[in-house]
């Protein structure tokens, strides 16, 4: 039975309108920028960068990271997964066999992707499994590095992100920060879903400083990512005047980090440097976190698989649940 009857659709629309008019999200739009370290490719795992494995997120969360950048790419059968690219070089780096049936340097199918363990022991992640891990770590934010600018691919990628989040908990969308590369992509993604915050990334851009400022003003952008090579003090000061924070990538040398901080860079993407703001202990407000990487990734996989096979709520029961949820939300805001 479909949940989207006219009555349910009207109720959901009312919730959205009410939220936009009166609500506040659990995380302010740019609250994630309180953290100045971004774990590149979910952070280093067993000395390997860009593994994009769930175990990397869990271990680096324990080290104090709260913002995680994940490389996301479509398989040959259009499933969004956490992987930097499809090169044979990366497969060798991650100690994954290249199957005889796989064309060299071409996309894997979802089955090929899932059967190749990362570093011979870590499970690769689909988007739904990655977002389940985000759900298990309530203090974490996810930056999406999807790399594509073709509108058809952008739509496929972000629709899967949104669908996966909605299947688990729509509030996860407040902790997803799309990394976007062109003005056209910014416009398109905002039409697909109004994410509370984005990061405008310049690594695929050849725009001049003046043109970047024009984009910043036009779209109300407050965070930019750029390669280390594009950082200079005058440019950073100009962006600061526009209220823009800058993250540089990718930085793994403490001396480079120190130099960039002196130039005015707000934060860095890193594989291996440790956050200076690492919390001494997990805040009680962050809720429970599964400590064991193996347990957490297994739980993420099981939950994601269950979500695809479970039967949906009966319409009446769903409506009652939704009304109760709204009442609880209103009570939390106004009492």
pLDDT per position in the chain (335 positions), as tens?
434 444 444 444 444 434 433 333 333 447 999 999 999 999 999 999 999 999 999 999 999 999 999 999 999 999 999 999 999 999 999 999 876 566 678 999 999 999 999 999 999 999 999 999 999 999 999 999 999 999 999 999 999 999 999 999 999 999 999 999 999 999 999 999 999 999 999 999 989 999 999 999 999 999 999 999 999 999 999 999 999 999 999 999 999 999 999 999 999 999 999 997 665 444 434 554 444 444 555 555 555 555 444 433 444 444 554 554 555 444 444 44
What are the DSSP E strand ranges found in the chain? 37-39, 67-74, 80-82, 141-145, 176-180, 199-201, 223-227, 245-249, 267-270
- Overall pTM > 0.85: no
Helices and strands, counts by H and E, the chain? 12, 9
In the three-class reduction of DSSP (H, G, I as helix; E, B as strand; rest coil), residue 192 is classed as helix
Q: Give rounded-to-5 percent helix, strand, coil for the chain.
A: 50, 15, 40
Does residue 208 contact residue 233 with C-beta atoms inside 8 Å? no
CA distance linking residue 315 with residue 4, whole number of Å: 9
* Cα distances (angstroms) measured from residue 303 to each of 135, 243, 310: 11, 40, 10
């Amino acid at each position: 039975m479909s949940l989207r009857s006219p009555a349910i659709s009207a109720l959901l629309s009312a919730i959205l309108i009410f939220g936009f008019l009166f609500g506040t999200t659990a995380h302010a739009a740019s609250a994630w920028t309180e953290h100045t370290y971004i774990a590149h490719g979910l952070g280093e795992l067993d000395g390997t960068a860009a593994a994009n494995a769930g175990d990397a997120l869990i271990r680096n969360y324990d080290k104090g990271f709260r913002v995680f950048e994940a490389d996301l790419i479509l398989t040959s059968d259009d499933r969004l997964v956490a992987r930097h690219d499809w090169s044979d070089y990366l497969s060798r780096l991650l100690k994954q066999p290249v199957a005889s049936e796989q064309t060299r340097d071409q996309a894997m199918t979802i089955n090929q992707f899932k059967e190749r363990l990362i570093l011979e022991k870590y499970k690769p992640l689909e988007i739904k499994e990655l977002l389940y891990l985000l759900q298990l770590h309530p203090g974490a934010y996810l930056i999406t590095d999807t790399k594509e600018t073709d509108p058809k691919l952008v739509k496929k990628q972000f629709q899967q992100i949104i669908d996966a989040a909605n299947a688990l908990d729509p509030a996860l969308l407040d902790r997803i920060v799309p990394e976007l590369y062109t003005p056209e992509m910014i416009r398109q993604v905002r039409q697909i879903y109004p994410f509370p915050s984005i990061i405008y990334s310049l690594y695929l851009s050849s725009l001049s400083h003046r043109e970047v400022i024009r984009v910043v003003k036009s779209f109300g952008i407050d965070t930019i990512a750029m390669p280390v090579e594009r950082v200079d003090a005058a440019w950073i000061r100009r962006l600061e005047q526009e209220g823009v924070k800058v993250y540089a990538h990718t930085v793994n040398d403490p001396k480079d980090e120190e130099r960039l901080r002196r130039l005015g860079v707000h934060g860095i993407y890193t594989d291996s440097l440790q956050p200076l703001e690492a919390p001494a202990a997990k805040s009680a407000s962050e809720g429970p976190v599964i400590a064991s990487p193996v347990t957490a990734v297994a739980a993420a996989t099981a939950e994601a698989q269950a979500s695809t096979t479970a039967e949906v709520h009966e319409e009446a029961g769903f409506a009652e649940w939704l009304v109760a949820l709204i009442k609880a939300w209103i009570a939390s805001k106004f009492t």
